[in-house]
Chains A and B, each alone.
Chain A
């Protein structure tokens, strides 16, 4: 017969009764995203493999046939758009990972953040776990596959092209916490589309992925400079096509890092507010 001291169901599982540290907390929260990814990974084949191929064939090669390489600093059009596509996939994935899954985390119909909150995980662990998935796991798997697929089109100048994956991860890091912050702040799910209309879509269009940003009207130039995708694309293009970026690489990296850090503090503030009742 059980006593109060050993009251339990089944064998005793070795449980950590202490508060997890930053890395351990994030890792435990990240594992939920990994478990969910195992159910949807096949869907990412489209964004990682088929979509880049379609873009390269239809736009890179098709449209590229009409574009004079001289207008692109001497590189082929397919070489010009390849690095931007790698970084764009990172942004597209954020649209999947940092909008509905974040919003649903607080809701009765999903509530995985609420479930995690009842455990030793703190709100910041939950945030870090989800960001680790969006900023580290997804770029270094899916964007890496995109980068490998692009290689078959002969668009890389050297093996340094692999660094385009790092550039894509930087784009994700600079944008993910802000999207998390925004999706966490919206109470009505019908307003989530605003994130796509006013963030994901404009960033994808006005970041010098498909044409040189310098071709944009002057009054739109500040939007280009503000776009993390433009900074990431410049870095990625330097890696894949061996062309000089618009700014020194350190300046692009510093800008993306600044956005990432500021965004993380903003997202932490919002998730703490949402998960403390």
Chain B
């Protein structure tokens, strides 16, 4: 008997959708041994990590709070990834979005009105787009790798936010803490359900996911994005502009990241602080891949990642699990997913050896 690996002539749909499940399973098994290695009770820790966050209604509302920005950003990133445009600086675009929205909120701190929130959203989206425009311009004009520029700009954005909250935007009554004033009610997102932290951002996110779905399956633009990603020469042949697609990708992903930053600042955080998120912009990359770049898959993946955040916090309290374990889980999941992808492109068969070449 020998193991034969053969490319599939067509990628198997069933396997494509089964691989994320398999990857999650393998991650859980690896997590068991990781916890064992860390000297924790693995079953109990896994329970806290994966099950506890989903047991209460409030728990679910908290998952929505975390999943919201992840899904929103990942939805935008997925469009670019389909076009082979690697915007990995969503965290920076998110930060710029928050700065834009926060700037509006602080500028009109002494005013109230229903127009403030829409203006903040506009400023947030614009901030994300402008920040996304830099790598897009450098890529289309000079062929500079968007991977490196978008990432470098993330560090710059975080430092920029630092300048503001340590300096001019610092809360005058804040005992010198590096944070802005709390936003007024006019600058805060309304809650969907009282008693939770779930804000209207989650509804916008769902709408964005549906819009992305329609765009990618029904619109010529979505088709263009896919062709540019899969076969650049065919895209040129079809009359689809690569540069326009790069711009489109950065505008969509920069815009959604900026909006997510707006929602974080005007939602659960309610002000600007030096580190607004636990790295949603990077985690969203995993969410996009885990969700197979598909809006529905991304929603499911977003909730899974939210569980890893909230479960990580619970296990930190209950089992003294180091906070960094969440990151390890997320990275591991992506590894397993990439490894499992092999199964959707290749068939592994056990075949009886038939090789009889040579002297016999």
A binds B: no
Residues of chain A whose beta carbon lies under 8 Å from any beta carbon of chain B: none
